[in-house]
Structure 1
């Protein structure tokens, strides 16, 4: 029995040693992916017909030293982001994968904007103060590091504000089509919809384009909607969602409420409830839902907001109930961690 226990302990110790190194250098994955986006490796391969390119061809086109580039490519190939195609001359060629196409290209269906946002120095710095967040719950690390909350910082720094809007637009281009395919009936019968915290309007543009019977209102802070492009069927309105929300048949909130604590969410939801018709209006929420058993969407927003958090389905139910909602419907539209 003791030998068995010792063997199990040795295996656990061996696995721990492997895992330790993963945690020590895990930050490098984001750094190298960001590097590949900034260099434009995937875009370069795509612009050359999408076919494999040699290291020499890539370094020449990118105008960079082939030696460090080869190490970047080796790192990304090892993780399945690019694939290596052998040649008869022995010099490997590098080709796209579905992952590199979706992760690294600066295009409509890419996640590159979201990666560039989350890996920016402004967003990374607060994570180094996460322990301060735990010890002093009332202060967000973002505010400690930058002297003001993320929204005021964005209002005063247009470059960072654009990063936020591009990242949210990137997410919208992936989520909205899946939502429209999975639960299109949610938008049936609506003649108007206000997107609360609509950013640069990408989400609403996708919705209005697919549901042309809907008149859209893109509602966000004045400095945000002033940068949003005009689009047929969409009105831009600047304001404060804690004060009032423009009236419409439905209020739509996507990835907004997880930035706020329960009390703030209840206040926002009450304003949304006031803006929709009594008895037939609806509030449509798209958010992550933590599944405690499956550990789905177990992510943190603590470094960037003071009271924001991800929630379980039960926690969402409590918040919605306190905001006065009784007729609730949860629809995963293909994703187990989404609340609709």
Structure 2
């Protein structure tokens, strides 16, 4: 059957908005059919080291230069680069040499985030989320929604994500490196947007601090913090890089939290259900002075209108993260303002404040008195 023309549909009285929606759907559906392709090609670019090679070269490179440096097939590399250029991840520059135009590949702000090193690198985060262990649970998301059996991660691997990481040091290291990527984005935003939350704090414990990247940045950005305690599971703390002014302590936050003027938690509580969050926060409250102490939480806040107004481009990330929590944790979730208020109040804190920053996270201060 021939496709009915737009003019005919309008004559039949079908609203133009419906016709436009139908036209968009014909295109949009392909994003969901092949949605995994972008992640796979970007992962390929990181593994090949394309951005790193161009950066090291110091100027844009031709296909032959790039394929020679990478020691790979130029025809296949051309296809990869064509895809990435079309997504504006790299850019193609035509330069005339002896009147013959030659294509050169150059960096963009996005491609620089695919470099393995650098303050803006997000490569480890991409490699973590695209790794086989993290992709497998997504196939069981519908079973999780139906509440059948264990969590999606446990169904895929036979144990939760934390036990899996403990038994697989390479994956644990990738988790730490990915969290360090986020810390390099979030911590400067915290310091620039609300460093005053650390005013008067002389000792700070970072609960679930991983390899200590966030705490190192906080201590450097807030030099009045004389001592930092990086607190994480023993197998994590034992391999954290030594740093002056920071002590690495291994332990279980469900059992105790080292004492300090303030406790800092970034992307920790969203891994757990409400009851577990309340338990963790009670341990944090017990670790700080009642009169001057505080707990500083850096987490996404779903539906934070202030943050959406300030940076509309980040408003969807919290909802994406909520799906990640559903796939990768047993009962973890991203929380709304009301849900954060509930767990903070139930943990015994008398009041709290929420402040937006130029990052996915907001900063929540919880006060015991």
Cα offset for 1:6? 5.2
- If the length of structure 2 is used for normalisation, what is the TM-score? 0.88
Contact 1:251/1:284 (8 A) holds in 2: yes
Matches within 5 A, 1:9-28: 9-28=18-37
Q: CA separation in 2, counterparts of 1:292 and 1:196?
A: 24
Contact 2:185/2:359 (8 A) holds in 1: no
Residue matched to 2:290: 278
Give the match's secondary structure for 1:110. Answer: coil
- If the length of structure 1 is used for normalisation, what is the TM-score? 0.96
Residue matched to 1:72: 80
Q: CA separation in 1, counterparts of 2:349 and 2:123?
A: 37
Matches within 5 A, 1:135-154: 135-136=146-147, 139-154=150-165
| Among 81, 88, 93, the residue aligned to 1:85 | 93
Residue matched to 2:252: 240
| Among 150, 174, 196, the residue aligned to 1:163 | 174
Residue matched to 2:234: 222
Residue matched to 2:57: 48
Query: 1:161-183 CA distances to partner (integer Å, 9 max, x unpaired)?
Result: 00000000111011111111111
Give the match's secondary structure for 1:229. Answer: coil
What is the aligned residue count?
A: 339
Give the match's secondary structure for 1:90. Answer: strand
Return closer, same or farther for 1:36/1:196 CA change in 2, 3 Å cut-off.
same
Q: CA separation in 2, counterparts of 1:229 and 1:105?
A: 18
Query: 1:212-232 CA distances to partner (integer Å, 9 max, x unpaired)?
Result: 332111101000001101111
Residue matched to 1:328: 352
Q: CA separation in 2, counterparts of 1:184 and 1:173?
A: 15
Residue matched to 2:6: none
Q: CA separation in 1, counterparts of 2:214 and 2:360?
A: 21
Aligned-residue RMSD, C-alpha? 1.6
Matches within 5 A, 1:136-215: 136=147, 139-214=150-225, 215=227
Q: CA separation in 2, counterparts of 1:253 and 1:102?
A: 25
Contact 1:113/1:166 (8 A) holds in 2: yes
Matches within 5 A, 1:56-67: 56-67=64-75
Return closer, same or farther for 1:138/1:187 CA change in 2, 3 Å cut-off.
farther
Q: CA separation in 2, counterparts of 1:308 and 1:77?
A: 37
Cα offset for 1:2? 7.0
Asked whether 1:298 is paired with 2:310, we answer: no
Q: CA separation in 2, counterparts of 1:103 and 1:4?
A: 50
Cα offset for 1:107? 2.5
Unaligned runs of 5+ in 1: none
Identify the range of structure 1 (183-192 vs 135-144) with the bigger mean alpha-carbon deviation.
135-144
